[in-house]
Chains A and B, each alone.
Chain A
Amino acid sequence: MLMLLKFQYSVSYKTWIHHAVVLMAMFFICQAYGQEDNNEAWQVHGFIAQGLIDVNGSSFVNNDGALSAELTEVGINGSYQLNDYFRITGQAVYLDGGNRYVEGARIDYALLDFSVYQDNKWLVNLYLGRFKNNNWLYSSTRDVPHARPSIILPQSKYFDGFRDIAMGSDGLSAKVVYSSDNYGDFDLYFSYGASTLDTEDVKLLLGDLVQGKGKQDFDAQASIYWQPHFSPWQFGFSVLDSDFNYERTSADFFYDAQFSFQQLSSSFLYEGERWEFSGEITQSKFSQLGFYNDEFKNESTGVGVYLQSRYQFNNQLSLLARAEKFYANKKDKNGSKLEQNTGGSIPSYFGYQNDITVGASYQLADNFRVDVEHHWVEGTSRLTPVVMPNTEVNDQRRWNMWAIQFMYWF
């Protein structure tokens, strides 16, 4: 009930209505196109998760360091097969993660799935509408508690502050699947679109003092995943290119700005009977023009890497260990230049963030699980807001957190 009382929309009603109208239009177009209907074509699934999180020494979740119940995730999705070629599907979620991302409901995806071609080795699908990012190892399930490896994902890759931008886009995406008895399984994804940023999203990214509007111009991504035939190994590679701009208001402290973001990433995954190993390495180039004044320019290349292992102890219990490193600027790994260039106003530990995580998952019943984990963190570069960080609360180089979350899905 408390959650319902706090329920706020993080996307505008206009956006919701837009998605609904588009889906309804798609529905009628595809009904007309289709040759046959499937009366058993409806599927509905969902999840609900609630937890407690306690962060000591940073503003990752809240500013006062108190034990927090801001670890709520609820989602429901539906899928309807219109005919042999078209399917419509969508998922809405409600999230409350404190400072990690904007609290409220979102449309994770709402799309038309067009089966372009398929035979016994090839599948080609086009997705039109709001689609999820499927290009990273855990990007498509990062907000699905029972389908991700930990409560808090590696922030070097799955930074919660970028969650709503990185989760998906409005536009067009494509999936190409090829299965070879000789070379293994290949999955290719392509996407092009943009996300809507509202005022809260912009403040989360840039800082509480901004008054202007932010807009994502485009987000283009591509990836390939390869699993050799009958192998427990999988290897992936992805690229991303995205531009944003900030438009000041007349009474703004800040100036118009353009932000550009390019990312290269590769991953591996080993899935054995009891042991699982995975890792991702990511290089991100960030360019900024404007914002502090019209002439302000900044370019930096950040690097993040994590290695993760999981051990299935028995049918109920699995254990997790992970080590992660992230440098916001690979030419300034200890953040000393950051501190120097800002006249000491931003401490050096805002230039990196390293995390050691241990955790456990226990299956309490079918479709009901509890996860618990502890993080030891050094550095604060993956906290919100990003461009103008909160140095008042984050006055320590080392901080830690633990979390417990119960989850049910259907």
Chain B
Amino acid sequence: MQVITHASVNVESMTTSQLRRIYSIRQLRWENSTPIVVFVLPSKHIIHKNFSKNILNIFPYKLDRIWNKLTFSGLGVAPTVVQSQEELLKAVSNTPGAIGYVDNLNKETDVNVIKISI
């Protein structure tokens, strides 16, 4: 499992806490104030489940609840859901400020790979 960002994002490593803040929509900008654009796979997708449980340490249903609350209360905006790993990779590589995750990265793809520390 690898966490990736758009090539213009000037970040080499992140902690699990930082990632959790981004995916639970508690941090909306990178350090240089660029808006963070979050892409995710559908909740049932095995890669999303693995990412959620093993990287973020949040159960997938909990993320769904956070995003539903934002979406249906007017408080904020939930991540953009894409249907496949290929689509996610393409979205992250084409969107400035984007972040996503893949389990099998093609080395030729123009994205940043983020080191995750606890």
Contact = CB atoms under 8 A, between A and B. Distances in A.
A120 B72 contact: no
A43 B26 contact: no
B73 A134 contact: yes
A132 B18 CA distance: 28
A267 to B, nearest CB: 14
Nearest to A133: B73
Interface string B67-78: 011011111111
B17 A147 contact: no
B26 A312 contact: no
Contacts of A177: 26
Contacts of A140: 69, 72-73, 75
Nearest to B44: A366
Interface in B35-88: 35, 42, 44, 57, 59, 61-62, 65, 68-69, 71-78
A141 B26 CA distance: 19
Interface in A85-106: 87, 89-91
B118 to A, nearest CB: 10
A90 B74 contact: yes
A295 interface: no
A91 B74 contact: yes
Interface string A98-135: 00000000001101010100111101010100011010
Interface string A176-187: 010101000100
B35 A84 contact: yes
A144 B75 CA distance: 14
Contact of B27 (A75, A89, A120): A120
A120 B74 contact: no
Interface of A: 38, 40, 43, 45, 47, 75, 77, 79, 81, 84, 87, 89-91, 108-109, 111, 113, 115, 118-121, 123, 125, 127, 131-132, 134, 140-141, 144, 146-147, 175, 177, 179, 181, 185, 229-230, 271-273, 312, 315, 366
Contacts of A40: 95
Interface of B: 15, 17-18, 21, 24, 26-29, 31, 35, 42, 44, 57, 59, 61-62, 65, 68-69, 71-78, 95
A132 B75 CA distance: 9
A31 to B, nearest CB: 18
Nearest to B72: A144
27 contacts: A43-B77, A45-B72, A75-B72, A91-B72, A91-B74, A108-B74, A118-B27, A120-B18, A120-B29, A121-B27, A127-B75, A131-B74, A134-B75, A140-B69, A140-B72, A140-B75, A141-B73, A144-B68, A144-B72, A147-B68, A175-B75, A179-B17, A179-B21, A179-B27, A185-B24, A230-B57, A366-B42
A79 B72 contact: no
A120 B31 contact: yes
A75, A89, A120, A132 interface centre (most CB from chain B within 10 Å) = A120
